[in-house]
């Protein structure tokens, strides 16, 4: 029997991530090849005509799984009954801008959209915040939508996770699908800590630890971390636009694993509300290694943390606490 359609909201749908993301959702990349979807696309009035153009293209592409398209500039209409909300709308960072520069513009959007989601979305709606500052926008959304369970509000660090997998695969000249269990700790920013301490590569001789295979501490603690931390800025420099296809694809990975589950023995990175695990202060949206089952994520417990990792994990937590304070000062 055919499944009932799932309603998926994409805010900022006329923007460049939106343009890459909506066809992926309509093709089943996010929710699976047998899951019909109804797309709800929100943008602001100056982008209404472009948004309608995206709707026209979605119709023209004749996606078999796509059972309806709502394209609107009305936030209440956009949020009505949605089961999944991918929050991309906002102002992107331009060349030379720090992420803090986009803070004041974006946190006020997230406060008002929190209320709309709370009022109009389906009760168990899963929320993924992509727009920067992603962790802090998600935190503001959580705080201003108190009736949405906090475990349903997450932010995207899967792009950083995938970037780390990509760097290890290039360095070791192995297939990216054979690399697993990297971790992104903390903020989706240049203080994030990409950690390969626990990651492995599947080889013909079994699972091998990445640190032993790389065998270059200086690179793992230096060049590797910096490349992943700075990859967003490097893309902006190269394209004069921020990452879009990789962000859209990683957003699909995030929701797919959350809804369908992570494969046995594999963890992924998600920005989630800290419960104090690994001594990360509660009250922040912080990226942790998680596994997902039955639509719920859980933080992977019991990983050993050395002194180098501890310092990096604390530094990114401090930045998040500063961002939180700054966000509140922008809202007041």
131 appears as a binding residue in the annotation: yes
Site string for ligand LMR, 82-121 (x = CB under 6 A): -----------x-----x----------------------
Q: What is the DSSP string of 220-277?
A: HHTHHHHHHHTHHHHHHHHHSS---HHHHHHHHHHHHHHHH-PPTT--EEEEEE--SG
- Cα–Cα distance between 88 and 52 in angstroms, integer? 17
Q: Is 188 a catalytic residue?
A: yes
Q: Which of 24, 48, 151, 233 contacts ligand LMR by CB under 6 A? A: 233
Cα R_g (the chain), whole angstroms: 19
**Angle at CA 148, nearest 5°, toward 120 and 160?**
105
Q: Which of 117, 159, 164, 255 contacts ligand NAD by CB under 6 A? A: 159
Site string for ligand NAD, 44-63 (x = CB under 6 A): x--x----------------
Tell me whether residue 108 or residue 169 sits nearer to ligand NAD (CB atom). Answer: 108
Q: Which phi and psi (to 5°) does residue 106 adopt?
A: -90, -35
- Cα–Cα distance between 283 and 186 in angstroms, integer? 13
Q: Which of 132, 137, 167, 250 contacts ligand LMR by CB under 6 A? A: 132
Smallest separation (angstroms) from ligand LMR to the CB of 2: 37
Give how far the C-alpha of residue 192 lies from the chain's centroid of Cα atoms, to the nearest Å.
14
Touching ligand LMR, residues 137-176 (CB under 6 A): 159
Smallest separation (angstroms) from ligand LMR to the CB of 254: 14
- Cα distances (Å, whole numbers) of residue 53 to 46, 47, 48, 64: 13, 10, 9, 19
Site string for ligand NAD, 11-50 (x = CB under 6 A): xx-xxxxx-----------------------xxx--x---
24 binds ligand LMR (CB under 6 A): no
> Which of ligand NAD, ligand LMR, none does residue 28 bind to, with CB < 5 to 8 Å depending on kind?
none
**182 with 196: CB under 8 angstroms?**
yes
Sheet of 6-11, strands arranged across: 66-72, 37-42, 6-11, 84-87, 126-129, 153-155, 268-273, 285-293, 296-299
CA dihedral 136, 248, 289, 144 (to 10 degrees): 30
- Cα–Cα distance between 8 and 41 in angstroms, integer? 8
Tell me whether residue 132 or residue 137 sits nearer to ligand LMR (CB atom). Answer: 132
The residues pairing with 157 across neighbouring beta strands, listed in sequence order, are none
106 appears as a binding residue in the annotation: yes
Smallest separation (angstroms) from ligand LMR to the CB of 105: 13
194 binds ligand NAD (CB under 6 A): no
> Which of ligand NAD, ligand LMR, none does residue 15 bind to, with CB < 5 to 8 Å depending on kind?
ligand NAD
Q: Which residues are catalytic?
A: 188
Binding site members = 12-18, 43, 93, 99, 106, 130-132, 163
Give me the residues that bind ligand LMR (CB under 6 A), please: 93, 99, 132, 159, 232-233, 235, 242-243
Binding site members for substrate = 93, 99, 132, 163
């Amino acid at each position: 029997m055919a499944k009932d359609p799932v309603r998926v909201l994409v805010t900022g749908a006329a923007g460049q991530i939106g343009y890459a993301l909506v066809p992926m959702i309509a093709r089943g990349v996010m929710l699976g090849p047998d899951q019909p979807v109804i797309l709800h696309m929100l943008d602001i009035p100056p982008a209404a005509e472009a948004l309608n153009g995206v709707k026209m293209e979605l119709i023209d592409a004749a996606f078999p799984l796509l059972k309806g398209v709502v394209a609107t500039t009305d936030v209440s209409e956009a949020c009505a009954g949605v089961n999944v909300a991918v929050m991309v709308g906002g102002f992107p960072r331009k060349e030379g801008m720090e992420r803090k520069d986009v803070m004041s513009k974006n946190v006020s959007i997230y406060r008002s959209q929190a209320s709309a989601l709370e009022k109009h979305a389906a009760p168990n709606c899963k929320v993924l915040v992509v727009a920067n500052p992603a962790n802090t926008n998600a935190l503001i959304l959580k705080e201003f939508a108190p009736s949405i369970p906090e475990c349903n509000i997450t932010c995207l660090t899967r792009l950083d996770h995938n970037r780390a997998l990509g760097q290890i695969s290039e360095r070791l000249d192995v297939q990216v699908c054979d690399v697993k269990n990297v971790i992104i700790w903390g903020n989706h920013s240049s203080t994030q800590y990409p950690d390969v301490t626990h990651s492995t590569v599947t080889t013909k001789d079994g699972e091998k630890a990445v640190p032993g295979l790389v065998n270059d501490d200086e690179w793992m603690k230096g060049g590797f971390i910096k490349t992943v931390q700075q990859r967003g800025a490097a893309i902006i420099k190269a394209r004069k636009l921020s990452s879009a296809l990789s962000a859209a694809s990683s957003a699909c990975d995030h929701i797919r694993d959350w809804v369908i589950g992570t494969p046995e023995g594999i963890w992924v990175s998600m920005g989630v509300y800290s419960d104090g695990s690994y001594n990360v202060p509660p009250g922040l949206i912080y990226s942790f290694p998680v596994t997902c089952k039955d639509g719920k994520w859980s933080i992977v417990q019991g990983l050993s943390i050395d002194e180098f990792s501890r310092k990096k994990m604390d530094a990114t937590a401090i930045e998040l606490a500063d961002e939180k304070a700054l966000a509140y000062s922008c809202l007041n």
